[in-house]
């Protein structure tokens, strides 16, 4: 017998039955093989109790269907001892039948046998559902623990996505009615239309983000250092010009083309990566507003000399804790997030922590469907809330379109939209996950029942995310791997590496990932021709790449091996790439004459704080400025502040 801790909020069957009315007790008795039924409440309770023990209990258990047995088992072994309907539905895909309605116009139900096992904690349909403690003790002697929820994954990504659409055909003669809203004028039927379904195969767009992020983080930081990224002084969000500048340094561009919009509604998807980068680097303390533009902080300058993977991990860890931005704000169609509604929104820090922990359960290098991941989170208790008062949120109209109505604020509408945003816009931009997606209007519109949503092409720009894959960089950032081991790109194309440092395609066609990799190190000279470029290689090494990656990539694709000139070029560049070391920013201090410079550089109180930088100049680390100033004051010299 399994060890049982009585966590049930209902101590005994008698306590549960005592809360029921005589009519409700009689309905339960109708489920039992009794001849003459008692009429007094005490006798009714005793009759039910007699059948919830021994062989009678086992006989009742056998009458439950598979789903009902699973409901009892899940409740028995739940940490809190209660039945969680949403969690059960997420795990099993169905809900157990507790009863059937006597009449569609009334809420009362004829109870199913499941009602003999699971009871309401309080009367009048209030309180949680649970198996009474004494009944649980008996059931645990023969009811096995249910299997844990699993997260399905695949190694090979399918080529397309099946979109099943519904067409509503009006009844003949139905003239319909006109509905006028702020979003437009619509025609609606007055009779129930006929529903026709159709299936469409839509090619998946795939994006392997790991290599892109390693390049982009350095490019964005350098762009900021050039003063090219302007942000709002009030919100610190990037403006149109900044979005355009950032898009220009992304080697693979944004996830969707700039200006992509639905052909009918003209709803525009909008920027994703270019929007995310300024927020991410600010949250990580790598950049901060100076007037209307971002500028690198000391930490940001230091990051330029560190391996990109370490910088990306630091950004992700800081993003998880930032309070400066709520990703749900990016679900533009849902209004009411400002003003009074903002006070009801939950802290995004708590939401991110739950999702990050759920991501840690994903297999590395395997594709997971977003729908399955969302279901897995619900089934395993990775719960979070978006708002404490969904009545504050609405679509189009604060009254008619409020999400407080039943079914309008469920997990698929709120939590799953937030999940899609965090994964698509932030985790993928940082290179933690690879993506497979379609355009956001090419997935089932699960929001059509919401008032005011008829005219929307999509509820959020992230609705098109179908699959994602946790990659080695993601495993490193999530703490699943101690070291970052870059993904090795499989050789899909034969290359010819020439003594002139040129790279030609000998056979086949480069994948997008292979082409991006080559352009990290080489300058494109034609459709199928590149030339190794010393400047690009040096830039790649400065951003944390290893020349061995390039060496192995080329060697695996040229059956003739690398020419001596190429090997020599790579070996020389590898040495020269690390010939200088950035020891951090310094103050260059000019002394009145060379004698003072020599005195300070050699004195025991100051020599450890400075270095000679010419006859009259000293170099002092920025972090040592105050100590240096006090030391030279002790020698009788001053240095006016500027």
Q: Are 299 and 315 in contact (CB under 8 A)?
A: no
The confidence score (pLDDT) of residue 117 equals 97
Q: Which residue has the tokens 């790579």?
A: 570
Q: Which residues are 617's β-sheet partners?
A: 590
Q: Are 485 and 471 in contact (CB under 8 A)?
A: no
Which stretches within 429-557 are classed as H helix? Answer: 472-477, 512-521, 534-542, 547-557
Distance CA 272, CA 334 (A): 18
Which of 284, 312, 590 shows the shortest CA–CA distance to 428?
Answer: 312
Q: Are 407 and 449 in contact (CB under 8 A)?
A: yes
Contacts of 252 (CB under 8 A, 6+ apart): 207, 212, 512, 516
Distance CA 605, CA 596 (A): 14
Which of 252, 270, 179, 587 shows the shortest CA–CA distance to 429?
Answer: 252
DSSP SS3 for 48:
helix
Give DSSP secondary structure letters for 239-301: -HHHHHHHHHT-TT--SS-TT-B-TTT--B---SHHHHHHHHHHHTTSEEEETTEEEE-HHHH
Per-10-residue mean pLDDT, the chain, length 642: 67 94 93 87 94 94 97 95 95 94 71 96 79 96 95 95 84 85 73 87 94 91 93 94 94 91 86 98 96 93 89 98 96 93 96 98 98 97 96 93 93 97 98 97 91 90 98 98 83 88 89 81 91 90 79 88 93 90 86 96 95 95 92 94 80
Distance CA 270, CA 287 (A): 24
Instruction: Classify burial at 259, counting beta carbons within 10 Å of its beta carbon; exposed 0-12, middle 13-18, buried 19 or more.
Output: exposed
Torsion angle (degrees, nearest 10) of CA 601, 604, 610, 612? 20
Q: Are 491 and 557 in contact (CB under 8 A)?
A: yes
The confidence score (pLDDT) of residue 637 equals 96
Please name the helix (run of DSSP H) or strand (run of DSSP E) that holds residue 568, with its range, or none.
helix 564-577
Residue 119 in tokens: 């009871």
Give DSSP secondary structure letters for 416-456: HHHHHHIIIIIITTTTSEEEEE--TTSS--TTTTSTT-TT-
Q: Which long-range contacts (CB under 8 A, 24 or more apart) does 292-297 make?
A: 292/230, 292/231, 292/233, 293/227, 293/228, 293/229, 293/230, 293/231, 294/224, 294/229, 294/230, 294/231, 295/224, 295/225, 295/227, 296/221, 296/224, 296/225
Distance CA 162, CA 453 (A): 23
Distance CA 216, CA 519 (A): 13
Residue 571 in tokens: 């070996």
Which of 18, 11, 17, 19 shows the shortest CA–CA distance to 32?
Answer: 17
Distances, alpha carbon 590 to alpha carbons 548, 595, 600, 602, 626, in Å: 43, 12, 12, 16, 17
Q: Are 459 and 447 in contact (CB under 8 A)?
A: yes
Residue 410 in tokens: 């469920």
Distance CA 250, CA 311 (A): 17
Q: How many CB atoms lie within 10 A of CB 598?
A: 15
Q: How many CB atoms lie within 10 A of CB 499?
A: 11
3-state secondary structure 117-182: CCEECCCCCCCCEECCHHHHHHHCCCCCCCCCCCCCCECCCCCEEEEEEEEEECCCCCCCEEEEEC
Distance CA 342, CA 337 (A): 5
Instruction: Classify burial at 308, counting beta carbons within 10 Å of its beta carbon; exposed 0-12, middle 13-18, buried 19 or more.
Output: buried
Q: Are 176 and 187 in contact (CB under 8 A)?
A: yes
* Sheet (strand 586-590) strand order: 586-590, 617-621, 610-612
Q: Are 270 and 461 in contact (CB under 8 A)?
A: yes
Distance CA 161, CA 144 (A): 38
Distance CA 115, CA 120 (A): 9
DSSP SS3 for 347:
coil
């Amino acid at each position: 017998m399994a060890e049982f801790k009585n966590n049930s909020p209902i101590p005994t069957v008698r306590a549960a039955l005592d809360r029921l009315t005589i009519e409700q007790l009689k309905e339960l008795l109708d489920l039992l093989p009794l001849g003459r039924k008692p009429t007094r409440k005490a006798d009714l309770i005793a009759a039910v109790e007699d059948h919830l023990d021994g062989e009678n209990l086992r006989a009742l258990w056998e009458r439950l269907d598979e789903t009902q047995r699973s409901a009892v088992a899940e409740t028995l072994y739940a940490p809190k001892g209660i039945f969680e309907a949403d969690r059960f539905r997420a795990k099993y895909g169905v809900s157990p039948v507790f009863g059937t309605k006597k009449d569609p116009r009334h809420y009362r139900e004829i109870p199913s046998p499941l009602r003999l096992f699971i009871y309401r904690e309080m009367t009048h349909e209030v309180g949680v559902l649970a198996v009474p403690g004494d009944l649980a003790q008996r059931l645990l002697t023969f009811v096995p623990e249910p299997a844990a929820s699993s997260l399905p994954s695949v190694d090979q990504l399918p080529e397309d996505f099946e979109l099943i659409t519904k067409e509503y055909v009006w009844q003949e003669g139905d003239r319909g009615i006109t509905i006028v809203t702020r979003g437009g004028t619509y025609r609606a039927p007055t009779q129930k239309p006929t529903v026709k379904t159709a299936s469409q195969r839509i090619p998946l767009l795939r994006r392997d983000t790991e290599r892109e992020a390693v390049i982009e983080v350095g490019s964005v930081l350098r762009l900021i250092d050039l003063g090219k990224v302007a942000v709002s002084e009030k919100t610190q969000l990037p403006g149109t010009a900044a979005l355009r500048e950032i898009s220009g340094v992304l080697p693979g561009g944004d996830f969707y083309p700039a200006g992509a919009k639905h052909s009918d509604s003209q709803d525009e998807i909008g920027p994703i990566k270019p929007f995310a980068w300024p927020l991410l680097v600010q949250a990580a303390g790598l950049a901060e507003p100076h007037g209307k533009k971002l500028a690198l902080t000391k930490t940001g300058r230091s990051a330029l000399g560190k391996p990109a993977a370490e910088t990306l991990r630091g950004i992700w860890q800081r993003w998880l804790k930032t309070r400066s931005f709520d990703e749900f704000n990016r679900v533009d169609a849902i209004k009411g997030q400002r003003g009074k509604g903002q006070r009801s929104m939950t802290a995004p820090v708590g939401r991110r922590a739950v999702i990050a922990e759920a991501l840690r359960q994903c297999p590395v290098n395997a594709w997971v469907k977003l729908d399955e991941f969302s279901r897995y989170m619900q089934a395993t208790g990775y719960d979070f809330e978006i708002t404490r008062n969904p009545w504050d949120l609405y679509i189009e109209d604060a009254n008619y379109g409020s999400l407080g109505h039943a079914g309008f604020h469920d997990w698929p509408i709120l939590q799953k939209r937030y999940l899609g945003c965090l994964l698509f816009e932030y985790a993928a931009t940082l290179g933690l996950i690879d993506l497979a997606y379609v355009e956001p209007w090419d997935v089932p519109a699960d929001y059509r029942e919401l008032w005011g949503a008829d005219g929307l092409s999509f509820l959020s720009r992230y609705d098109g995310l179908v699959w994602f894959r946790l990659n080695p960089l993601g495993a490193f950032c999530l703490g699943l791997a101690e070291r970052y081991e870059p993904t090795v790109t499989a050789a899909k194309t034969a290359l010819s590496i020439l003594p002139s440092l040129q790279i030609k395609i000998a056979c086949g066609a480069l994948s997008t990932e292979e082409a991006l990799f080559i352009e990290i190190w080489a300058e494109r000279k034609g459709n199928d021709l590149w030339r190794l470029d010393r400047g690009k290689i040096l830039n790649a090494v400065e951003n944390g790449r290893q020349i061995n990656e390039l060496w192995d990539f080329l060697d695996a694709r040229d059956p003739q091996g690398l020419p001596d000139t190429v090997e020599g070029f790579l070996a020389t560049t590898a040495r020269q790439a690390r010939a200088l070391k950035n020891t951090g920013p310094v103050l260059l201090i000019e002394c009145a004459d060379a004698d003072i410079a020599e005195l300070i550089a050699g004195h025991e109180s100051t020599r450890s704080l400075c270095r000679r930088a010419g006859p009259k100049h000293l170099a002092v680390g920025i972090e040592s400025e105050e100590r240096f100033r006090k030391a030279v004051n002790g020698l009788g010299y001053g240095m006016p502040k500027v």
